[in-house]
Amino acid sequence: MFELYPSFPARAAGAGLLFLRASLAASVFITIPEALLAKAPHLVWIGQVLLALALGLGALTPIASVCCFLLGSAVLFEGGHASGSALVTLLLAVAVALSGPGAYSLDAHWFGRRVIVFPREEL
């Protein structure tokens, strides 16, 4: 019998993914360039808060991590040099996107933890 186990790990791995999402949410506040803050500070602040809430709660985590990746990429291309905070944001965004939100997230509550079992073929 082939079993596919849930994509929302719990216990220590789930807690680790929660901390990973929290780290990415914190890096969003560090990564914003000053040029963007000077143009529309209120709009940037609202975007930062919404993105950090989505990551912290684990709501639509793949979309939020892609937004963080795009933010980090924009900072790298705008500045012309490698910023440490932008590189950290890129790495954290890739890690969150590839590993998923974990069991302690709204995504796990909304989409559920499933086990798919395929019947064994008789020879």
Q: Return d(Cα 68, Cα 45) in angstroms, integer.
A: 14
Compare 39 and 2 and report the one with higher pLDDT: 39
Q: Return d(Cα 88, Cα 31) in angstroms, integer.
A: 9
Q: Return d(Cα 102, Cα 79) in angstroms, integer.
A: 34
- pTM beyond 0.85: no
Comparing 1-5, 12-16, 60-64, 102-106, the range with the smallest average pLDDT is 1-5
Q: Give the three-state DSSP class for 4.
A: strand
Quick count: other Cβ atoms within 10 Å of Cβ 15? 14
The residues, any chain, with a CB within 8 Å of residue 61's CB and separated by 6 or more, are 21, 54, 55, 96, 97, 100, 101, 105, 107
Cα Rg of the chain, angstroms: 18
What's the confidence (pLDDT) of residue 116?
65
Q: Return d(Cα 113, Cα 19) in angstroms, integer.
A: 20
For 39-86, the pLDDT digits (tens) are: 778 888 898 899 999 999 999 999 999 999 998 888 888 765 567 888
Q: How confident is the prediction for the chain on average, in pLDDT?
A: 83
What's the confidence (pLDDT) of residue 115?
63
